[in-house]
Amino acid sequence: MGGTRRRLVVIGNGMVAATFLEELLGADAERFEVTVFGAEPHPAYDRIKLSTVLAGACEPESLTMLDEDWYTDHGVTLHAGCEVVALDRERQVVRDGTGRETPYDVCVLATGSDPIMPPIEGRHRGGVHTFRTLGDVHDIIEGGRRASGAVVIGGGLLGLEAAYGLRLRGVEVSVIHLMDRLMERQLDGVGARVLRGQLELMGMRVVMPAETASIVGNGRVEAITLRDGRVIDADLVVVACGIRPSTALARESGLTVGRGIVVDDRLRTSDPRVFAVGECSEHRGLLYGIVAPLNAQARVLAAHLRGDETAAFEGGIPATTLKVAGVQVFSAGVVDAEELDDLLTLEDTAAGVYKRVLLRDDRLRGAILVGDLSTAPQITAVIAGGATVNGNRLSLVAAPTGEPPTSVAAGLADEAVVCGCNGVTKATIVCAIRDQGCATRGEVTKCTRAAGSCGSCGSIVDALLAGCGVEASASSAEPDVCACVPLGLHALRAAIWERNLRSVQAVLETLGNGTGCAKCKIALSYHLDAWWCGDYEEDRSARFINDRVHANIQRDGTFSVVPRMFGGITTPAELRRIADVADRYAVPMVKVTGGQRLDLLGVRKEDLPAIWRDLGIVSGHAYAKAVRTVKTCVGSDFCRFGVGDSTALGIAFERMIWGLYTPHKLKSGVTGCPRNCAEVTVKDVGLVGIATGWELYVGGAAGMSVRKGDLLSTVATPEQALRHVALFVQHYREEARYLERTYHYLQRVGVDAVRAATVDAPAAEQEGLLERFALAKSRVREPWATEGASPRTPLQFGALPAAGPPEERELVGHAAAAPSPAFRSTQAMDRGEAMLAAAGVGVG
């Protein structure tokens, strides 16, 4: 047998080589005697997932595509960590770095690409890395451990992936990009802007257009300089300025090489015994840099070598699904529109969604999807079917926001490619579910590879699973509280009272599924507190973090501290204490809030108790679904128009209700006359001074929606006004659903019903409401003074100690939480100055 086997040498053991070997040897390993050379010291692995390793979200081993046993089982000789240095086509041998020669009958070049290192001054300094291999990732991780700031040069796919990985390690990252849009090869201007917004939300900084001039530092990098003179501090630099096909070997051996190794539709080079696949190849003048078309090349070559004369690679619209720094992106075909093109676009900047499809004469030429890939399968199907668009063109962009993925999946043709990375069709997946018994996404991946690389088609796979009846569909009517506790609000309240259930866990075990979820646990915490007027067993694990540490969590894991300022009125002594605290604890920003009080931002969790102690002011509950502010205007005390004593009434109002939890936040205001300087008609509860007394407005809003409050009542005295406020607040606490803001509640039930149940209710009912209000109020415990002095749970504001050298014991709630020493108020002021100067209006 040995003599009849053809000797096949594969140079390069990357992703495409792996697909090729699997396709070629999957069924019969007999026909070829295969030797594979890979310059990297590992068996073939999934390069796409390098950023996941960089992020620390998976181990390098989990990337392996073909493990060592696979090579052994298929009789393949693998020389890992062994580079081929010469291809001698005359003698039909390859020579590797050890000087050994290996003869071949057929040779396949799968050498991939090399990262481009532009000739930036200082690029040889320590701490400067490329991003292509596991070795690179290892080096970056090692460097990242010490790094406080990293710069990624290049805002293409690779650069953004590297930046994402570093960001997840808590490193501050700036991306420097030469162009004025990110990923210009895959995205148009709008798409790139939407992506940028999402990246900035994750705390990445994007600097563009900007050209790196040099990398400076003493031996190791300390900063980079830009051509425009700016300097960015960094102790780690990742260069991701693109890739270049790895063609040196081919060129030296005399093969025809353009930008890549030139191949025909059978992937044959200018030598009929030598083939090239993957990123190193150039086909019909095109280079491909994403796996889907490259894997198609590998499949064609395998078929060809196994004797299928019809197999041919014809190129096509390169379509790819990418996961860019956690944001899903799909890009296919042409990026920049021309005049004759029809455009279908959909944009929801706030949600980070952008879709644009380019058509000409009903043929699809290009597509870009950012943030919502629900229509990618339809688009891929159109491309697979020859790019002709019939019927509903809008379904290419507009279908499924809100439409369950199941129906999208159901609408796909059998031959539609669901997993672009691995070229897996709907039919293959359905067959794996139906005939091979795959019951989970993981099993489908194992069986078909779908969703195994970038993972972005996972939801479609889930939908196909559901469509095949694998997972029972969700239950019928949407319950008021949560699927975990399937009871309407009033039924739930009755059951809780009847069975005397006083803890979240007791409710879940008696009336729910025993476990609950984040949503219903937090909601139940609220309702138990309100319905038992505070007399219940509070379970801190069923509270949002803000309500466990009495501060508002921020994007970087630090917290903000807003002391209460009743009615927005303060004293010099109080202001001094706030200023002292800001100094003493190096608080990065002090800001006047939109709610007439001061905010200390960027505070570390473990500093909270000491800050509260030093402030000596009660909590403003700016972090809670609770009574927030009562804004006031100066009113009759000073103002020449004032008819009501708005400051005094505001203070009384806030003193009356503060500390109570409410279904959603409750913001109020008292204003001295209808000029309404305190903007109270758009507050949850607002009092307007009029010549004859006070008007009470409820259900106003000026946040995500704007709504003028409904006039609930008009009263003559401040005492009556306070009484009506208390009636309304207690009614809202008892009747509204958790997270139902007053404007939603009033819209749902109507002001007449609310009036009938409060200020127009029979006297006994009013007394009942006021009694429960007073009871609840009497049970309020001010959290900062009490828990600051004696924590309510172990390590409430700290971390576990862990053994180890003392420097590792410096523990914070979140490593990224250590506030930067820079005073960010000043930075914000500087940014403001710069904006004013840049506006060029002659002021500044």
Tell me the C-alpha to C-alpha distance, in Å, between residue 449 and each of 19, 377, 445: 11, 17, 4
Residue 635 within binding range of ligand SF4, rule CB under 6 A: yes
Which option in ligand FAD, another protein, ligand SRM, none does residue 212 bind, with CB closer than 5 to 8 A by kind? none
Confirm if 6 and 105 have CB atoms less than 8 A apart.
Answer: yes
Range 82-121, binding ligand FAD (CB under 6 A) = 83-84, 110-113
Here's the x/- map for another protein, 457-476, by CB under 8 A: it reads as: -x------------------
Rounded Cα–Cα distance for residues 472 and 440 (Å): 13
Q: Which is nearer to ligand SRM, 428 or 668 (CB)?
A: 668
Give 817's DSSP letter: G
Selected from 16, 432, 617, 626, the binder of ligand FAD by CB under 6 A is: 16
Residue whose pair of structure tokens reads 């090489």 in the numeric block: 257
**Cis amide linkage into residue 209, ω under 30° from 0:** yes
The sign one gets for the Cα dihedral 540, 541, 543, 547 is positive
Confirm if 210 and 120 have CB atoms less than 8 A apart.
Answer: no
Q: Which is nearer to another protein, 61 or 336 (CB)?
A: 61
Selected from 22, 23, 139, 161, the binder of ligand FAD by CB under 6 A is: 161
Rounded Cα–Cα distance for residues 535 and 554 (Å): 31
Query: Tokens representing 566?
Result: 């009743």
Selected from 109, 677, 727, 817, the binder of ligand SF4 by CB under 6 A is: 677
The H-or-E segment that residue 133 falls in is: none
User: Exposed (0-12), middle (13-18) or buried (19+): which is 222, by Cβ within 10 Å?
Assistant: middle
768: three-class secondary structure by DSSP:
helix
Which option in another protein, ligand FAD, ligand SF4, none does residue 50 bind, with CB closer than 5 to 8 A by kind? ligand FAD
Residue 591 within binding range of ligand SRM, rule CB under 6 A: yes
Here's the x/- map for ligand SRM, 690-729, by CB under 6 A: it reads as: -----------xxxxx------------------------
Which option in ligand FAD, ligand SRM, ligand SF4, none does residue 663 bind, with CB closer than 5 to 8 A by kind? none
149: three-class secondary structure by DSSP:
strand
Phi, psi (rounded to 5 degrees) for 93: -135, 155
Helices 718-735 and 518-531, interaxial angle, to 10°?
A: 140
Residue 770 within binding range of another protein, rule CB under 8 A: no
CB of 754 to ligand SF4, least distance (A): 26
Which option in ligand SF4, ligand SRM, another protein, none does residue 491 bind, with CB closer than 5 to 8 A by kind? none
Residue 832 within binding range of ligand SRM, rule CB under 6 A: no
Angle at 171 between CA 182 and CA 832, to 5 degrees: 65
Q: Which is nearer to another protein, 108 or 601 (CB)?
A: 601
Rounded Cα–Cα distance for residues 376 and 589 (Å): 43
Q: Which is nearer to ligand FAD, 137 or 611 (CB)?
A: 137
Selected from 29, 85, 93, 141, the binder of another protein by CB under 8 A is: 141
Give 673's DSSP letter: S
140: three-class secondary structure by DSSP:
helix
Confirm if 564 and 778 have CB atoms less than 8 A apart.
Answer: no
Residue 557 within binding range of another protein, rule CB under 8 A: yes
Range 80-99, binding ligand SRM (CB under 6 A) = none
Of 201, 203, 211, the residue nearest 154 (C-alpha): 211
Here's the x/- map for another protein, 805-824, by CB under 8 A: it reads as: ---xxxxxxxxxx-------
Range 646-665, binding ligand SRM (CB under 6 A) = 665
Residue 597 within binding range of ligand SRM, rule CB under 6 A: yes
Rounded Cα–Cα distance for residues 402 and 468 (Å): 21
CB of 79 to ligand FAD, least distance (A): 8
Tell me the C-alpha to C-alpha distance, in Å, between residue 534 and each of 758, 781, 787: 21, 10, 17
Which option in ligand SF4, another protein, ligand SRM, none does residue 560 bind, with CB closer than 5 to 8 A by kind? ligand SRM
Longest dimension (CA), the chain: 110
Angle at 196 between CA 195 and CA 198, to 5 degrees: 65
427: three-class secondary structure by DSSP:
helix
User: Exposed (0-12), middle (13-18) or buried (19+): which is 567, by Cβ within 10 Å?
Assistant: buried
370: three-class secondary structure by DSSP:
strand
Residue 56 within binding range of another protein, rule CB under 8 A: yes
Selected from 149, 289, 377, 516, the binder of another protein by CB under 8 A is: 516
* Site stretch for ligand SF4 (CB under 6 A), options 234-242, 312-320, 333-341, 637-645: 637-645
Q: Which is nearer to ligand SRM, 28 or 200 (CB)?
A: 200
* Site stretch for ligand SRM (CB under 6 A), options 37-45, 390-398, 416-424, 591-599: 591-599
Of 602, 622, 621, 613, the residue nearest 812 (C-alpha): 602
- Identify the bridge partners of residue 328 per DSSP, sorted by sequence position: 323
Which option in ligand SRM, ligand SF4, another protein, none does residue 534 bind, with CB closer than 5 to 8 A by kind? none
Residue 671 within binding range of ligand SF4, rule CB under 6 A: yes
Which option in ligand SF4, another protein, ligand FAD, none does residue 692 bind, with CB closer than 5 to 8 A by kind? none
Here's the x/- map for ligand SRM, 540-579, by CB under 6 A: it reads as: ------------x-x-----x-x-----------------
Range 611-650, binding ligand SRM (CB under 6 A) = 620, 622, 628-629
CB of 679 to ligand SF4, least distance (A): 10
Residue 548 within binding range of another protein, rule CB under 8 A: yes
Give 173's DSSP letter: E
Q: Number of residues interacting with ligand SF4: please give it, by CB under 6 A.
A: 12
272: three-class secondary structure by DSSP:
coil
Query: Tokens representing 321?
Result: 């699904």
User: Exposed (0-12), middle (13-18) or buried (19+): which is 342, by Cβ within 10 Å?
Assistant: middle
**Contact residues: ligand SRM, CB under 6 A:** 552, 554, 560, 562, 591, 593-595, 597, 599, 620, 622, 628-629, 665, 667, 701-705, 741
**Contact residues: another protein, CB under 8 A:** 42, 45, 52, 55-61, 63-64, 134, 137-138, 141-142, 145, 167-170, 201-203, 323, 326, 328, 454-456, 458, 515-518, 521-522, 539-545, 548, 553, 555-557, 793-795, 798-804, 808-817
